[in-house]
Amino acid sequence: MVDTLHITGKTRLYAIIGDPIAQVRSPEVFTARFAAAGIDAVLIPAHVPADRFDAIVPALLALGNLDGLLVTVPFKARMVPFATRLGETSQVVGAINALRREPDDSWTADMFDGKGFVNGARRKGVRLEGRSVLLFGAGGAGSAVAYALAEAGVRAICIVDPMQDRSGHLVARLQRAFPECSFETRNRQTTFDMIVNASPVGMSPEDGLPGEIGALRAGTIVGDVVITENPTALIRHGGAHGCICITGRDMHAGQLDVLMAFFGADRQPGGSGGDPARVTVKAG
C-alpha cells in the first residue's frame, strides 16, 4: 500500500476545483482509495475563485503531472468547453464533474452526480421505477440527477428552478432523450413520490427548504445532493415524517466506484501502481 504521507516527485496529481472548496470530502476519500489500490497518487482541493476561472483552468490542465480533475459548484457547466470530448450524459445535460487526461494529453469528461445519486438510493433499497419526482435545481447537479432518474425508469419529473429558461431548455433536452418519461417545469401536483433538492439551498446552515414541497408521507423518498456536516433542512423535514432520505454523502459514496473506473484506477494489474488516468476507459 502507498503511504499517503509519502509524496514524491513521481506522485501523480488529481484535483477538485470549486468556489467554495472547504466543504468537499473528495481529497481524503480518493487519496485513501488510491493508497488502498497501491497507486502513487493524491487528490488535492483547489480553490478557484469564480472571477478568475477562465484564467486558472487552462494553466491547471497544462500541469504535466495532473491526471484527473473533479468539478464542483459552481463550475460544472462552465467547465464543458475545456473538455476535448464528452460522454453521453454530459452531452445531454451540458455539464461535467470529472475529466481525465488521455495518453495524447487530451481530456475526456463526463457527469456522474446522477449515477451517484441513483446508486445511493438503490443502496438504501429504494425502487425508482414508476415514481413521480419533484426536483429543485436545473444546474449541473440537477441536470445529472434528472437524467439518471429518467434513465432509471421514473415516470415523471417536475424540475423547478428560479431561472425558467434554464429549466425549460433542460426539459426539452431530456424529453428528446427519454420520450417515455414526462417532464415539466411547473408544479401542478400536491404530492410526489420523491422530492429531491439539487440546488445550492442547504449549503448554509440557516437555509430552509428549497421550495414548496407539498405533503410528505412515510413512503415519500427525500433526497438532497448538498454535502454538509449536519443534515439539511430538507433531510431533517423528511426524517421527521418517516421518509427514507438520500443525502449528499450518499450521492458522493454512490459515485466513488464509478469515478475510480472512469479514472482507470480500478484497472491497475494487482494494484501495482502506475498512472491510473493513462488507462483509456470509454466515458459514458
124 is a catalytic site residue: no
Nearest-5° angle of CA 254, CA 115, CA 166?
Answer: 130
As annotated, the residues of the chain forming the CATH 3.40.50.720 domain(s) are 114-251
Report the length, in residues, of the chain. Answer: 284
Q: What is the pLDDT of residues 170-212, one digit of tens each?
A: 999 999 999 999 999 988 777 899 999 999 999 899 999 999 9
Give the pTM.
Answer: 0.85
**Looking at the chain, which residues constitute the CATH 3.40.50.10860 domain(s)?**
12-111
Q: Which residues contact 68 (CB under 8 A, 6 or more apart)?
A: 14, 15, 98, 99, 100, 101, 263, 276, 277
**Beta pairing class for 107-110 and 98-101:** antiparallel
pLDDT digits (tens, 9 = 90+) for 42-76: 999 999 999 999 999 999 999 999 999 999 989 99
SS3 label, residue 259:
helix
Rg of the chain over CA atoms, in angstroms?
19
Superfamily of 12-111 according to CATH: Leucine Dehydrogenase, chain A, domain 1 (3.40.50.10860)
The amino acid that residue 120 corresponds to is G
Cell (9 digits) for 210:
428549497
**How far apart are alpha carbons 213 and 107 in whole angstroms?**
40
Please state whether beta strands 182-184 and 156-160 pair in parallel, antiparallel, or not at all (unpaired): parallel
The CATH code for residues 114-251 is 3.40.50.720
Catalytic residue among 76, 115, 124, 282: 76
pLDDT tens digits, residue range 72-108? 989 999 999 999 999 999 999 999 999 999 999 999 9
